[in-house]
Amino acid sequence: MWFHPLIVMSLFGGLFGAGLAYASRKFAVKTDPRVAAVLEALPGVNCGACGYPGCAGYAEAVVSGKAAPSLCAPGGAEVTEAVCAILGVTYEATEPRVAYVMCQGAPHAQQEAQYDGVASCALAALVSEGPSACKYACVMMGDCYHACPFGAISWQTGSVPVIDEAKCTACRKCIAICPKEVIALRYRSKRVLILCHSQDKGAVARKKCAVACIACTKCVQTCPVHAIRMDGNLAVLDTGVCTQCGACVKVCPTGAIRDLRPTTNEENLARAGAGIGVAAE
């Protein structure tokens, strides 16, 4: 009979349909609709800067309360605000942070040897700790430039990379890759910075670099808000506390502390002959 297969197939169809309908009810996984909403709000670049596997991983973590809503570096304040709105928590604005290089490099720092191997900071740092006389200095071979997913770092061979504060999202990729750990974060509006990373004793540091921190502690004593402390032979500035009064810049005998605010930046650039730390807005 020609209609037998039709009946059999219809029966099978009905049976499997009923089974699927039952299974979808019985084994349903309850998902929070907020996860999808948060995922929608995130930029979707899957950079991993939040520490979770991609945006989806972070969205789940945020909704389940395992992660703070402010961890999305590329999204910044806007995304944090949106995520807070979805979660129904109050949004507190925090100032975004950006990366900067704690070294003024060439032409101030002495080069001890010439490195002619593969142009990579990580590999150059393996050969007598880098070609620079100062073993804490920027190697200037651009590993961070290649690592930056946002194109915020500009760099030329033989010079310290310049980080564009408008593009930097504080994702820390450059910090992770730098073999000398010479990159750190600062608050975006704070541009009075200690541009040295040398732990050498003062006399030694001065011999190797004209603009090194020589651990004279004058800035520590001068700072009215106690934003500067000594870490071994190096003065370290907490940009969260700094009021940018500029007192430390005036007392620093070597020029390791620099005021890179736009009003004074031009003058600074002219003096240094190279763009240090802050690119034009």
Partner 1 sequence: MKLFRFRGGVHPPDYKALTQEVGIERLTVPRKVRVPLVQHLGVAAQAVVKKGERVLMGQLIGERHGFVSAAVHAPVSGVVTAVESVPHVSGRSVPGIEIENDGKEEWHPEIKPVRPVTREAIIAAVQAAGIVGMGGATFPTHVKLQPPEGKKIVLLILNGAECEPFLTCDYRLMVEAAERVIRGAVYLMEALGVTRCVVGIEDNKPAAIAAMRGAAAGQSGIEVESVRTHYPQGGEKQLIYALTGREVPSGGLPMDVGCVVQNVGTAAAVADAVETGRPLIERIVTVSGDAVERPGNYVVRVGTSIGDVLAAVGVDLEKCAKVIAGGPMTGLAVGNLEVPVTKGTSGILAFTEAWVKASEPAPCVRCGRCGVACPIGLNPTMLETLAMKRDVAGLQVFHAQDCIECGCCAYICPSQRTLVQAIRYGKAQIVATRKAKRN
Residues in contact with partner 1 by the rule CB under 8 A: 112-113, 116-118, 120, 122-123, 126-131, 133, 135, 200, 204
Q: Whose Cβ is closer to partner 1: residue 15's or residue 176's?
A: 176
Q: Whose Cβ is closer to partner 1: residue 126's or residue 230's?
A: 126
- Residue 255 token pair: 């020029």
Q: Whose Cβ is closer to partner 1: residue 133's or residue 185's?
A: 133
Q: Whose Cβ is closer to partner 1: residue 177's or residue 269's?
A: 177
Contact 74, 171 (CB under 8 A): yes
DSSP state of 35: H
State the CB neighbour count (10 A cutoff) for residue 17: 10
Residue 29 CB contacts under 8 Å (≥ 6 apart), including other chains: none
* Nearest residue to 136 (alpha-carbon basis) of 111, 163, 103: 103
Helix axes 33-41, 76-87, angle to 10 degrees: 170
86: three-class secondary structure by DSSP: helix
Determine which helix (DSSP H) or strand (DSSP E) holds 8, and give its type and residue range. Answer: helix 4-26
Q: Whose Cβ is closer to partner 1: residue 121's or residue 160's?
A: 121
Tokens 């089974």, residue? 19
Rounded least distance, CB 112 to partner 1, Å: 5
State the CB neighbour count (10 A cutoff) for residue 220: 18
Q: Whose Cβ is closer to partner 1: residue 120's or residue 217's?
A: 120
Tokens 């502390």, residue? 257
